[in-house]
Amino acid sequence: MAPPTGVLSSLLLLVTIAVKELTVSAGDNLIITLPDNEVELKAFVAPAPPVETTYNYEWNLISHPTDYQGEIKQGHKQTLNLSQLSVGLYVFKVTVSSENAFGEGFVNVTVKPARRVNLPPVAVVSPQLQELTLPLTSALIDGSQSTDDTEIVSYHWEEINGPFIEEKTSVDSPVLRLSNLDPGNYSFRLTVTDSDGATNSTTAALIVNNAVDYPPVANAGPNHTITLPQNSITLNGNQSSDDHQIVLYEWSLGPGSEGKHVVMQGVQTPYLHLSAMQEGDYTFQLKVTDSSRQQSTAVVTVIVQPENNRPPVAVAGPDKELIFPVESATLDGSSSSDDHGIVFYHWEHVRGPSAVEMENIDKAIATVTGLQVGTYHFRLTVKDQQGLSSTSTLTVAVKKENNSPPRARAGGRHVLVLPNNSITLDGSRSTDDQRIVSYLWIRDGQSPAAGDVIDGSDHSVALQLTNLVEGVYTFHLRVTDSQGASDTDTATVEVQPDPRKSGLVELTLQVGVGQLTEQRKDTLVRQLAVLLNVLDSDIKVQKIRAHSDLSTVIVFYVQSRPPFKVLKAAEVARNLHMRLSKEKADFLLFKVLRVDTAGCLLKCSGHGHCDPLTKRCICSHLWMENLIQRYIWDGESNCEWSIFYVTVLAFTLIVLTGGFTWLCICCCKRQKRTKIRKKTKYTILDNMDEQERMELRPKYGIKHRSTEHNSSLMVSESEFDSDQDTIFSREKMERGNPKVSMNGSIRNGASFSYCSKDR
């Protein structure tokens, strides 16, 4: 039985009086900013607790950021200390209670991220000072290496001073391109701005010099001495030179020769013909003038000597002593002299064994072959221009002595690291008791055939080789002395691969190799550095060679910043090709014909080898390229597909496609036939006269069926049901008509007919 309403009201009043509501505050909401991650919260309660009574405090964290991993410690005190707070919103609840009092308070603590201190950008231009000389009138200044702690959002170039430039491109891009420059000193300022609006500027200087026109250099030729009665001579000044063109030659008598008798012809040509000269010293001055009217002079002296003549002096050289066998001996009369010059030499064999042959007997140096053991005497006769002569005799003694064979020293083993592909093998340490008369270097048959011998040095003491390829070369040195004894020694050259081979890139440019100057090469390197986003010093040009008369191949590699490491050639070539394809085809100084790796680096999937000329894979037998990867994916040549499996897969796909097509055709035919076929409904006609049956006959075609005693008529209303079979059910006939007997005969002449109607 429920208590009376008055009793309930009394109880509620007692409870309300018993539990007093406290006003609790945890203070104002707090906002702190990292790195400050500590906070102190304090609860305030009204009214204050009675004497000898204390409140109980309970702090609870209602919500917090997901990455906060801390816990509330000492949460039963009036003051709560928190630390290691992360960014986000924290909601705290404090509950204050005693035996007959209770209250709650809430406070929010918001932790904001640390304020970012923006650093201004740093503008960097490369090069800071650039000097050009006409006719080169274009330049690049790169500001892409400028840096910022966040991001540079704008670049702006402006000309500070210098001649006015009509064509300036990319003034708001990292790279400033200048063209059609006039001579003068230019200054450009680059201003960069970061995402916070901070700016920084720097300047670059550009000096454009006029084309230098150097003065000509006159060359009148060497001094001359002639002897009377010769009184004419031609002076040659065609060795004079100029960087552009010499337009005028002027010959004249030099200082100290004015008034002397001489006939001068061709004074305004490079060639001055002098005649009717007399004894004495003549000085002639040549003045040349270039197309800029700059001039230069040179002086030549001609001495005309009197006719007095002394006979020549024949010198056949010191006597010789040779060791048999000897292939040949040299007869040297070049030390013979005359006051005007020797015009005639003649050697002859005057005594000794007769079986000798002589060559160049009418020259200063003659050669004798076929020497045998014995003593030979040779006479030299010389004559001057006046016909005066002189003779001298040379004795050659050929002796037979015991001979020790020579000792060959080929130089041992050598190691060569590409791209250094040249070396000299020194055989000079070979020895003999007399002398070595021949050296022959022979390449071993198992050595690589590539590699060239320079200037026929395989028959000299030092073998000079170039264009060597990777591999081990073996060379045999055969030395032979004058007696025909010989010895052989072996030298090996191990050519190791270029450690930077995987990083070499070939860049083919449409420019003759002779037109690629050092200055243009430096400009080209700076342009490549801009395209590849590296420093100029990171691009190392290893080789420059002619590809054809109108094209040049530059082989280079790119190294990364410290720690230095050579970048892969395939990545560099792909990156360069991509940058040139994106509207930068004319960025470089010359047109690019091809970009590729210097070596063939393809692995060919282990089923072939890479052609070094075409840089494509040549697959082994029964293997072929993965056409999907070659033409759709990364385009790298490969040998991934087996021809056997490809053939089986293709045959299987053809069979499956044919079977599926045949199945679809069959299903379509069956569905079409089902649609044409129509259902037929039959009714039994009994005790009908002929006229009624005729009325039920179809307009086109009636089918009759006969029985043993009587005939029945089947009528169909559909003229398109010729392919349907008429089904007679004797059982049905007997059940439907009692006049039909059990043996199927028709009584009282009754006829049965089935009439079909379309449903």
Domain end (from 476, 496, 516): 496
Give the number of other Cβ atoms within 10 Å of residue 576's Cβ: 20
Q: Please name every residue paired with 440 in a beta bridge, in sequence order, or none if there are none.
A: 478
Computed over every residue of the chain, the mean pLDDT equals 81
Helix (H, G, I), strand (E, B) or coil at 392: strand
- 690: pLDDT strictly greater than 70: no
- Residues 100 and 734: their CA atoms lie apart, in Å, by 106
The residue whose two tokens read 């990455």 is 67
The mean-pLDDT minimum among 97-101, 389-393, 405-409, 737-741 falls in: 737-741
Assess whether 149 and 89 both reside in one domain. Answer: no
Burial (CB < 10 A; 0-12, 13-18, 19+), residue 123, is buried
670 found inside a domain = no
Q: Among 149, 339, 359, which Cα is nearest to 228's?
A: 339
| Percent of the chain that is helix, strand, coil (3-state, to 5) | 15, 40, 45
Q: What's the maximum distance between 2 C-alpha atoms anywhere in the chain?
A: 179
Assess whether 424 and 477 both reside in one domain. Answer: yes
Assess whether 541 and 484 both reside in one domain. Answer: no
What average pLDDT does the segment 301-314 reach? 86
Strands (E), 572-679: 592-597, 608-610, 617-619, 623-624, 641-642
Domain with 156 in it: what CATH number? Answer: 2.60.40.10
Residue 233 phi/psi, 5° resolution?
-165, 155
Assess whether 137 and 204 both reside in one domain. Answer: yes
The number of C-alpha atoms within 13 Å of 453 and in the hemisphere containing its C-beta is 15
Give the pLDDT band (50/70/90) at residue 552.
very high
290 found inside a domain = yes
Give the pLDDT band (50/70/90) at residue 749.
very low
The answer to whether 368 and 328 have CB atoms below 8 angstroms apart is: yes
Domain with 514 in it: what CATH number? Answer: 3.30.70.3310
The answer to whether 339 and 310 have CB atoms below 8 angstroms apart is: yes
Q: Among 81, 93, 75, 84, which Cα is nearest to 39's?
A: 81
SS3 for 11-76 is HHHHHHHHCEECEEECCCCEEEECCCCCEEEECEEECCCCCCCCCEEEEEEEECCCCCCCCCCCCC
Percent of the chain with pLDDT over 70: 84
SS3 for 337-358 is ECCCCEEEEEEEEEECCCCCEE
Residue 542's domain spans which residues?
501-599
Residue 466 phi/psi, 5° resolution?
-150, 170
pLDDT tens figures, 574-604: 888 888 877 566 788 888 888 888 777 677 8
Q: Among 579, 578, 575, 595, which Cα is nearest to 587's?
A: 579
Assess whether 260 and 294 both reside in one domain. Answer: yes
Q: Give alpha helix (H) positions in 397-517.
A: none
Assess whether 338 and 417 both reside in one domain. Answer: no
Assess whether 491 and 509 both reside in one domain. Answer: no
Assess whether 492 and 505 both reside in one domain. Answer: no
- Residues 610 and 601: their CA atoms lie apart, in Å, by 7
640 found inside a domain = no
315 found inside a domain = no
Assess whether 205 and 231 both reside in one domain. Answer: no
564 found inside a domain = yes
636 found inside a domain = no
- Residues 14 and 520: their CA atoms lie apart, in Å, by 104
- 1: pLDDT strictly greater than 50: no
Beta strand 462-466 pairing with 452-453: antiparallel
Assess whether 21 and 104 both reside in one domain. Answer: yes
- Residues 729 and 684: their CA atoms lie apart, in Å, by 11
563 or 521: which carries more pLDDT confidence? 521
**Whole-model pTM over 0.75:** no
Assess whether 576 and 529 both reside in one domain. Answer: yes
- Spacing of C-alpha 17 from chain mean position: 92
Give the pLDDT band (50/70/90) at residue 121.
very high
Domain end (from 540, 564, 599): 599
Assess whether 171 and 245 both reside in one domain. Answer: no
174 found inside a domain = yes
Sheet holding 551-558, edge to edge: 539-548, 551-558, 505-509, 592-597
Considering 82-91, 600-609, 695-704, 741-750, the range whose residues carry the highest mean pLDDT is 82-91
Number of domains in the chain: 7
pLDDT tens figures, 494-533: 998 877 777 888 889 888 988 889 898 899 898 888 888 8
Domain end (from 599, 618, 651): 599
652 found inside a domain = no
- Residues 477 and 430: their CA atoms lie apart, in Å, by 10
